[in-house]
Structure 1
Amino acid sequence: MASPPHVNKHLKPLFQLVVNNFLVLVVAPVTAIVFLRKAAQLGPEEILSRLHGLRQAHALLAVFLPLALATLYLMSRPRSVYLVDYACCRPNSNCRVSIGSSVENVRFSPYLDDGGVDFMTRMHERSGLGDQTYLHPSFHYIPPRCCLSDARDEAEQVIFAAVDDLFAKTGISPGAIDILVTNCSGFNPTPSLADIVVNKYKLRADIRSVHVSGMGCSAGVISLEVVRNLLQAAPRGARALMVSTEGTSIINYAGRNRGMLLPHALFRMGAAAVLLSTSKSMARFRLMHIVRTLTAAHDRAYLCISMKEDDEGETGAYLSKDLVPVAGEALKANIMAIGSLVLPRSEKLLFAISFVARKLLQPAGEDAGLVPDRMMMAAAQKDEEPSDPQVQKIAPADPAAGGEPAGNPAELSTTEIKKKKKKKKVLIQVPDSDVKRVLSYKEETIDTEVPDLWVRRDPELAANLGIMWANLAMLKELTKGRMLEEQRNYREQLKTKGRVTYELEVDEDDPRFKDEPTTSAGAGRRRYRPGVMKKQDGHTRKLN
């Protein structure tokens, strides 16, 4: 029987108050009660006699040691970093591009066929971009004529607009800046963007400047971490300017690869400038935590966004289909890391209780995770096969020709030894729980509407959230085809064989797959075909 709502309404605040202030409400009173009880047992005379028996060195140490430890802690603690103010760039009105204009440019593009035009039209309409986005004038031509000077002009335009606005809002002169950090992933000219800012505003000669490049969507967080570390090492009261931008030259792609066409429906002009300091005066926010999860060790995450050439030699930014799951995994890891830092003790305790309860009450055979990666093992292994033409099989040397025998394992590399292992193809059955999850997949749409309450409180944050949700919805649309194709494959296998399997190439002597059926037909093996029976004499007969 559930407790009344008004009871829960009062119990939860009480629980949070007790757990979050456990030291003040529980430990301190219990400690005071223990001391008072001990003092009552000893009596006033006994306490005074023991105090008179203490040596002066002990009394001095009891007073000096806590003060010394407190002073040492305060001196070794890193300085707090504060955000003074920030400014976002608003490009000139001649750079404005509406969705209709973007779609029209796509239809007249000489590089795209009918399928590419339909794809880009659909992506622009579902991207969540409005009619108030901006592109450099070089992209307004058909076809675009983006070059190095245009990319540099775009970077200067957005960076200078954001920095000018920031200096005007804070009233701080450029000569008061001690640290400068800029970041841009796709456009990295020489001189660097940091040097461009120094030259434009004639910053001091002793300024510490750093430029961060090639770090993708995490460049802003990395730059913020660099600024924090430099400010904590600089003299107290130092000021740092951080400028974050992304050049749209990365979307200037003249090919037909859809993964490389997609950035054109995602990226637009923009920049932000942030002023940070270790001085609390004029500060709006205090920087509490910086959490960053590095996923470059995993191949899926490493290659989900990359600059490369297509089959025709055209260069562009490639977005793989793994981008959505990789982004979800990184977001989950970041939430778990930041949650332990910002959640109050009461929420941590409730999470621990619910986690233990789920583990104890969950049935042994139930798997609460997503569809395992083993469903894609066959495709993944196929992708991992070496395609380098320089990696060739080693033929046995002819001893008569003066060559060394090829069977000497001391002179074989690890790759060469693996090539000599015999392979076999086995059929792995997909578990029923995974089959049910794939078959139960339904097309879902992400609601890109931002609540009105968020819009009223912080319009800029609400606009950014709306764009982010729209981009996630578009990327999810791209991965939907894979799941639907998997569903069709599963249904076809269930209809013909009654089970779902996938083919996997393994070593012939691998003990893990000793009992698995192989796909290679041995002597006398009959091929299974629905509705067909094979006779002993080799002829076939239809059953229906």
Structure 2
Amino acid sequence: MAEDFLVKNKISPKSIDILVVNCSIFCPTPSISSMFVKRIGLRSNIRSYNLTGMGCSAGLLSVSLAKDLLKIHKNSLALVVSLESLTHNGYPGKVKSMLLTNTLFRSGGTIILLSNRKQDRRRAKYVLQHLVRINMGFDDQSYTCVFQENDEEGHVGVSLSRRTMHIASNALRTNMVRLGPLVLPYSEKIRYLWSLFLQRVCADPKSKQYIPDFKKAFEHFCIHSGGRAVIDAVEDNLSLSEEDVEPSRMALYRFGNTSSSSVWYALCYLEAKGRVKRGDRVWQIAFGSGFKCNSAVWKCVSDVDPTCSLNPWSDRIHLYPVEVPEILDT
């Protein structure tokens, strides 16, 4: 996949200056980043990073690391590989909270090429405008809601707490508070501040805190496909429509929870449908163990080809969306 990606974009492996790889569960020796250096033939002096154990939000965390490195290293290319491999990490035990990972998670991966070179501006598809990261690890319940541990029989598995959705909602609200001032129009900011004034200064018992309409800031939403409950929670918190969450629901239906790469599968769905237009803004929302909520805001700056052969949806996008049976939509 990596070789095809570089050939398609006419990029020489020797021109890659930064490599960031993330994979939460699978952590071999040599590292996956070293495997990429050998397989693709990257330079010996490449700045290589291998992130593990960062959960489903690690894809945007890797983009954040690459962004910070590109601020320092001018005229550079950064290759970000976001993947998950579950082959060696199936749970063989009987604890129900750990068995869910066997049925929900799937292997998957994506490659993103970031650049700060002037000559790449004309062929770039998106510009990264904002990236907001939230880590709730200071809270005990947040820290343990997605937790790898041994069961009573000694089997290693990942346990999912029943409070995960509540914790995810709190993390999302915290992220929204920090992201809102960066992206919301002035009308929404004023309405939000006015509701706070009525509540805290005037102590008006009838007033409720206003939740800003983020649909006025974004045209598209790519939510981490962590499960039906995750998508439902974000849909309710942001008052989104079925069309807004369709990319994430279809990504979950076809590919399962591909962990850190799921937000990219959702974006590829939008591209294959031809919905992303020049000037559109896309909000990617990812959740992960720790507990983390990361947001990335991208602005489309060129015409996107919906028939791209590297798009995982291009061969059957005409079959979607589909009506998901209740028994499968979990």
TM-score (ref. length: structure 1): 0.39
- Of 27, 51, 57, the residue aligned with 1:218 is 57
Give yes or no for the alignment of 1:333 onto 2:174.
yes
Q: Is 1:296 matched with 2:137?
A: yes
**In 2 relative to 1, CA 231–214 (structure 1 residues): closer, same or farther, beyond 3 Å?**
same
Within 1, Cα distance between the matches of 2:111 and 2:86? Answer: 18
Q: Is the 8 A contact 2:199 2:205 kept in 1?
A: no
| 1:20-419 pair list within 5 angstroms | 161=1, 163-236=2-75, 238-249=76-87, 252-279=90-117, 280-359=121-200, 360=202, 362-363=204-205
User: Per the alignment, in what secondary structure is the counterpart of residue 255 of structure 1?
Assistant: coil
Shift of 1:446: 4.8
3-state SS of paired residue (1:276): strand
What CA distance in whole angstroms lies between the structure 2 residues aligned with 1:212 and 1:293? 17
Q: 1:453, CA displacement in angstroms?
A: 4.9
Residues 424-447 of structure 1, C-alpha deviations (whole Å, 9 max, x = no match): xxxxxxxxxxxxxxxxxxxxx959
Q: Is the alpha carbon distance of 1:254 and 1:292 closer, same or farther for their aligned partners in structure 2, counting shifts above 3 Å?
A: same
1:409-435 residue CA offsets vs partner (Å, 9 max, x unmatched): xxxxxxxxxxxxxxxxxxxxxxxxxxx
Q: Aligned pair in 2 of structure 1 residues 172, 470: CA closer, same or farther (>3 Å)?
A: closer
How big is the shift at 1:169? 3.1
Distance in 1 (CA, whole Å) between partners of 2:72 and 2:22 is: 21
Q: Could you tell me which residue of structure 2 aligns to residue 463 of structure 1? A: 250
Partner of 2:11: helix, strand, or coil?
Answer: coil
Deviating more after overlay: 201-210 vs 348-357: 348-357
Distance 2:189 2:8 in 1: 40
SS of the residue aligned with 2:132?
coil
**Partner AA of 2:173 in structure 1:** K
Distance 1:296 1:462, change over 3 A: same
Greater Rg, structure 1 or structure 2? Answer: 1
Residues 180, 242 of structure 1: 8 Å contact kept: yes
CA separation in 2, counterparts of 1:367 and 1:352?
Answer: 12
Quick one: distance in 2 between partners of 1:229 and 1:166? 23
Q: Which has the higher contact order (CA 8 A, sep 6+)?
A: 2
User: For residue 356 of structure 1, what is the amino acid of its counterpart?
Assistant: F
Deviates more, 1:305-314 or 1:189-198: 305-314
Higher helix proportion = 1
In structure 2, C-alpha distance between the alignment counterparts of 1:469 and 1:203, rounded to whole Å: 31
Distance change in 2, residues 1:267/1:229 (3 Å)? same
Taking the aligned partners of 2:178 and 2:99, their CA distance within structure 1 comes to 34
1:469 Cα offset (Å): 12
Mapped contact 1:446–1:469 kept (Cα < 8 A)? no
Query: Which sections of structure 2, spanning at least 5 residues, go unmatched?
Result: 210-230, 259-330
- Uncovered stretches (5+) of structure 1, i.e. residues with no partner: 1-160, 369-444, 472-544
Cα distance between partner residues in 1 of 2:116 and 2:58: 22
Identity of aligned residues (%): 36
Alignment partner of 2:133: what SS? coil
**CA RMSD of the aligned region, Å?**
3.2
- The CA distance in 2 between the partners of 1:214 and 1:344, in whole Å, is 36
The match for 1:82 is none
Higher strand share: 2
Relative to structure 1, the CA distance from residue 286 to residue 204 in structure 2 (aligned partners, 3 Å threshold; closer, same or farther) is same
- The Cα offsets for residues 284-313 of structure 1, whole Å up to 9 and x where unpaired, read as 111111101111111111111121110111
Aligned partners of 1:294, 1:195: CA distance in 2, in Å? 28
Instruction: Determine the C-alpha separation between the residues in 2 that align with 1:246 and 1:452.
Output: 28
Counterpart of 2:42, as a letter, is L
Structure 2 Cα separation of the partners of residues 452 and 322 of structure 1: 25
Query: Match of 1:232, as an amino acid?
Result: K
List aligned pairs for 1:423-438, cutoff 5 A.
none
Name the structure 2 match of 1:496.
none
What amino acid is aligned across from residue 57 of structure 2 in structure 1?
S
